[in-house]
Every structure is written in structure tokens, then in C-alpha cells.
Amino acid sequence: MRPELTSALWGAAGLTTKDREDIIFRPRPLRNLAIISMPQSHVADALYGARDQSLGERVYPITTYFAAPDNSCKGIVPGIGPCTSSPTLAEELVARATQILQAYMMGQTNIVLVTFEGLKVSRYVRFDRHPAVDQTAR
């Protein structure tokens, strides 16, 4: 792996030398992605916040996702306004009888990908911004 790629990524995330000590970086060049593992949540949050990376004179967009933890499952919730932020989704989405671990928009669509705690997808998810409307998770 080219060292300038990792240096640019660490710089885009604002990571210190100490932050980078326990990072495991596994590039997948044929798939145009990298899997990055680390034990510190603040490092994961910094990498998650990086949106673009400069290499030479070009700027490349970065899309980051947290891996789903063990004992979790995923479902979708349609009908949410495009460009709703992940923090807003995390605060406003409510599922009956299960906890929502993660939620983020699928690109520029009106569909949210939701990670639920446990191995059963919640049948109903409510977006509290519009409490009268229940959305069915699939």
C-alpha cells in the first residue's frame, strides 16, 4: 500500500501518532475500499467524520461505515427525508421492544439502513419528528 494514502487518510481524520498505534489497515484495492479496525472509539469517530482526502492535487470523497456488532441485525425504513443526518436519525428513530444501534441514509435516497440490537428486526419503527406516522422496517 502506498504510504501517502494512509498518511492522507490519517491527516483527513486529524489522527495523532498515538491514535494510529493500534490501527489495523487492510486495503482491498480491487474493490476500492479499505477495512480499518481500532479499539478506540474516538479514533473510529474521527475516521467516520472524514469526508474527503487529498492525494497529490486531487481530492477524493470518502464514505465511511461502522461495522455492525455481534448480536445485531439490519433492516430498512423507507420514507425519511433525504439528507437526514445520522445523529438526527439516532435521536429520532424509535423501535418497539428493541434498541437501534446505528442508522444512516442510503445515499441520496429516502431509505434509512438501521442496525437493531438482537437478531430480530423490529416490525415498526417510528421517526419521532413525525410521531403520528409509523414506518415498517423490512
Nearest CA-CA partner of 76 in 129, 108, 131, 123 = 123
**What residues have CB less than 8 Å from 14, skipping those under 6 apart?**
46
With H, G, I as helix, E, B as strand and everything else as coil, classify residue 100: strand
Q: What is the pLDDT of residues 15-52, one digit of tens each?
A: 999 999 999 999 888 988 888 988 888 888 888 888 88
pLDDT score for 136: 53
- Report residue 131's pLDDT band, with 50, 70 and 90 as the boundaries: very low
Please indicate whether residue 94 or residue 49 has the higher confidence score (pLDDT): 94
Write the pLDDT tens digit of every residue in 51-83: 888 888 899 888 887 788 889 999 999 999 988
Q: What average pLDDT is seen over the chain?
A: 85
Q: Which residues pair with 114 in a beta bridge?
A: 75, 103
Which residue in this structure is represented by grid cell 436519525? 89
pLDDT of residue 45: 85
From the number of C-beta atoms within 10 Å of its C-beta (0-12, 13-18, 19+), residue 123 rates as: middle
- Segments making up each domain of the chain, as ranges: 3-61, 72-136
pLDDT at res. 114: 93
Q: Are strands 100-105 and 111-117 parallel, antiparallel or unpaired?
A: antiparallel
What pLDDT is attached to residue 138?
57
Higher pLDDT, residue 107 or 125: 125
